[in-house]
Amino acid sequence: MPAYTSPRIMQLSQDLETGKSDVLMAFWREIEEHGAPIIESITDEETQDRLVTVVWRGGPDTQNVVVLGGLTNNTEIKENILTRLAETDVWYKTYRLNVEVRTAYYFAHNDSLIPWDQEKDIQARRRTLQPDPLNPQQLVYPADEEDPNDFSTTLSVLELPEAPEQPWITRRKGVPAGQVERHTFESAILK
């Protein structure tokens, strides 16, 4: 997977190198105001693609951050480790995506970096995954009420500008709301 460079991250890096004061605080204020990920046009070529940069605000304990889910196109963990910007609290990874993409992703903070097919306790590792705290759009998969070992999972949603509309998932005036009910049954055939 080729490496892509976010113009916004590049600008932040240059500003930090020249010693501009308060650029880091201004960057985080901008992210808080507009949300994450950072979505940027590609200006040097004719394309419908966008650069999408996920960011993580690291702390003193942050050793690594990995982005997982649909955003990564199921590539290997090592290809989805965020990069730390100099000695700051900014961790980032940039992807090039089609303008119609709608997907979900989450982060693994201080991940073991063991490939998933070699993981001995997948459930324990899954419990450490978390949504993007800088992205307010989330998707929650509730726990299976009948499985005491199951747990809910929250992912962050990424919708690029031209993602197809989904009119069937939003409430519409004049259309009655349905209700989801759970029904269980026994089957001699489906055991």
Q: What pLDDT score was predicted for residue 172? A: 84
Q: Percent of the chain scored above 90 by pLDDT? A: 65
Per DSSP, what are the bridge partners of residue 104?
Answer: 157
Comparing 47-56, 149-158, 168-177, which segment has the lowest mean pLDDT?
168-177
Q: How far apart (Å, rounded) are the C-alpha atoms in residues 137 and 140?
A: 10
pLDDT digits (tens, 9 = 90+) for 72-122: 877 889 999 999 999 999 999 999 999 999 999 999 999 999 998 899 998
CB 114 within 8 A of CB 76: no
**CATH number for 32:** 2.60.40.10
Residue at 50 is within a domain: yes
The model carries a pTM of 0.87
Residue at 150 is within a domain: yes
Residue at 87 is within a domain: yes
Number of structural domains, the chain?
A: 1
pLDDT digits (tens, 9 = 90+) for 179-191: 888 888 888 888 6
Residue at 66 is within a domain: yes
| Single-letter amino acid, residue 92 | Y
Residue at 2 is within a domain: no
pLDDT band at 2 (very low <50, low <70, confident <90, very high): low
Q: What pLDDT score was predicted for residue 170? A: 82
Task: State the residue range of the domain holding 129.
Answer: 7-163
Q: What is the rounded average pLDDT of the residues 159-170? A: 87
Residue at 124 is within a domain: yes
Higher pLDDT, 150 or 9: 9
Residue at 67 is within a domain: yes
Residue at 177 is within a domain: no
CB 94 within 8 A of CB 53: yes
